[in-house]
Amino acid sequence: MNNNISPITIAIDGYSSSGKSSMAKALAKKIGYRYIDSGAMYRAVTLYAMRNNMVSPQHEVDSEKLIAALPQINIDFKVCEDGQHTMLNGEDVEKEIRQLDVSNNVSQVAVIPQIRHALVAMQQAFGTEKGIVMDGRDIGTTVFPDAELKIFVNASAETRAMRRHKELLDKGQQSTYEDVLANVMTRDHIDENREESPLRKAEDAILLDNSNMSIEEQDKWLIDRFNEVIAK
Ligand code: CDP
């Protein structure tokens, strides 16, 4: 392998709970790249909206109020011993943003074009020097359309819900499989059908269905794709 190769940009998109974040994180660690979880940014904005009474119990978002509050919302990432934590206005919200109540509102926040524009600009700023792995829904299509390596991950809704349910239980959070499956399916629907940069595979992305893959298998698959690109 040529060790003097210039860093590249890696975009990993896919459906909710498809395991894209774990793959992206493992790859970034292995190759010494920065990892950015774009979904965490949408989740942090959602938490801000929920805390400031901008989301109704029926998941309706007061988009005008939220757009006006954007200058007051600062999102960053902090490297901690157990990985990267999401910071909202200086507060570590990593645990809170993963809870099901945030998941139940995040796709409604993520449809708002002005919110997307603000977050996409921040995501692009993180990537100016390349050497980055970013995961999300629109990274290969909108955030980094010129990324040298693009992956699109999917697995059946049931497999994804099972994985997320187990993850929540492992973290000591309350959840039932049925609630998680409903959330996964609702978010898929909203993400695929929104007008602004809907969830879809970029034409030049490599499709991965990891329904029947172990974590080790998918990590190896991804590193092989990376090695192919940098060998070119
Ligand atoms: O729960 P999961 O890891 O699958 O999702 P996430 O990556 O944390 O993203 C949460 C939600 O944010 C998604 O369901 C989308 O509605 C939204 N999102 C988006 O619209 N664009 C992105 N680039 C990333 C996330």
Burial 188-219 (b: 16+ CB within 10 A, else e): bebbeebeebebebbeebbebebeebeeeebb
- Note whether residue 42 is domain-resident: yes
Residue 113 lies in a domain: yes
Structure tokens at 189: 């629907």
Residue 114 maps to a domain: yes
Would 51 be classed as within a structural domain?
yes
pLDDT of amino acid 59: 95
Ligand 1 neighbours, Cβ below 6 Å, are 16-17, 21, 38-39, 42-43, 103, 106-107, 110, 136-139, 187, 191
CB 184 within 8 A of CB 174: no
Cα dist. 52→61, 100, 218 in Å?
Answer: 11, 18, 40
Which residues are bridge partners to 78 per DSSP? Answer: 85
Domain that holds residue 55: 9-227
CA distance linking residue 98 with residue 85, whole number of Å: 11
By DSSP bridging, strand 149-154 and strand 132-136 are unpaired
Domain count within the chain: 1
Q: What is the pLDDT of residue 82?
A: 86
How confident is the model at residue 60, as a pLDDT?
97
User: From atom 25 of ligand 1, which residue's Cα is the shortest distance away?
Assistant: 39
Tell me if the pTM is above 0.85.
yes
Q: How far is the CA of 232 from the centre of ligand 1 (A)?
A: 31
85 within some domain? yes
- Give pLDDT, residue 3: 53
Report the relative pairing of strands 34-37 and 132-136 from DSSP bridges.
parallel
Q: Is residue 154 part of a domain?
A: yes
Q: Could you tell me the two tokens for 101? A: 């109540």
Residue 195 lies in a domain: yes
With respect to residue 1, please indicate whether it lies within any of the assigned structural domains. Answer: no
pLDDT value at residue 85: 96
Nearest-atom number in ligand 1 for the CA of 17 is 4
Give the CATH number for residue 64: 3.40.50.300
pLDDT one digit per residue (tens) for the chain, 232 residues: 445 679 999 999 999 989 999 999 999 999 999 999 999 999 999 999 999 999 999 999 999 999 999 999 999 999 998 889 999 999 999 999 999 999 999 999 999 999 999 999 999 999 999 999 999 999 999 999 999 999 999 999 999 999 999 999 998 988 899 999 999 999 999 999 999 999 999 999 999 999 999 999 999 999 999 999 999 8
Please tell me the predicted confidence (pLDDT) of residue 4.
60
Q: Which of 114, 135, 137 to mutate to test the pocket of ligand 1 (most atoms within 8 A of CB)?
A: 137
